[in-house]
Amino acid sequence: MLKIFLLRHGETAYNADNNRYCGRTDIPLTDKGLGQAQEVKRHLEGIEFAAVYSSPLQRAANTACLASGRDPIKDERLIEADFGNWEGKTKEEFIAENESLWVNWMSDPAVYRAGGTGETGTEIVERVDDFFRSIQQQHTVGNIMVVAHNGINRLYLAYRLGMPLRNYRQLVQQNSSITCFTLDGQGVLTLELLNSKLR
């Protein structure tokens, strides 16, 4: 059985600034974020990883490198959601500009586009699910580290756990926290840890 250690990247300046939406903007980790990633490595000490994958954005790739001690395989399917007109703004800022976009997204992200012009939840989970299906073809057993982003991680988990995508925000994943799940031969996800530091 395949065991996935799914991480959210460490803190960025956007995270620290009232959780400003940072989809495709490629900004680095803060000093705190670098320390968080190094702390993950201590938490995961002794676990052998068959492979390490990350989003191509530097905040995820650098977290993966620091947490695993090796260069990750970067995969475009793990990039953060395209947030459209919400990019670079806080929730308070973009709701003040156009509240209906947020109301629509929260009612059914499966069909509405983030920020009006970004991705739908369905488009996001389809590409992330395609990634996990492909790594199952390469790795049937063992531990795999995957470092990605808050938006796509939570949407994928909601989808695989059979939740309506509108409930994805009920799953929490803090910076550099670890979520652990198994995938069996039929692709069934069993959640073992959520938003954890392991020790």
Give me the catalytic one of 80, 87, 119, 149. Answer: 80
- Cβ(55)–Cβ(78) under 8 Å? yes
Is the four-CA dihedral 82, 77, 22, 27 of positive or negative sign? negative
| Domain boundaries along the sequence of the chain | 2-80+121-196
Q: Is residue 9 annotated as part of the catalytic site, yes or no? A: yes
pTM above 0.95, yes or no: yes
Which tens digit of pLDDT belongs to each residue from 159-171? 999 999 999 999 9
Distance between CA atoms of 173 and 87, rounded to whole angstroms? 20
Give me the catalytic one of 9, 11, 119, 149. Answer: 9
- Cβ(49)–Cβ(23) under 8 Å? no
Which tens digit of pLDDT belongs to each residue from 124-137? 999 999 999 999 99
Distance between CA atoms of 80 and 67, rounded to whole angstroms? 19
Residue segments in the chain with a per-residue pLDDT below the cut of 70: 198-199
Q: Residue 148 pairs with which residues in a beta bridge?
A: 8
Q: Is residue 11 annotated as part of the catalytic site, yes or no? A: no
CATH no. for 2-80+121-196: 3.40.50.1240
- Cβ(78)–Cβ(54) under 8 Å? yes
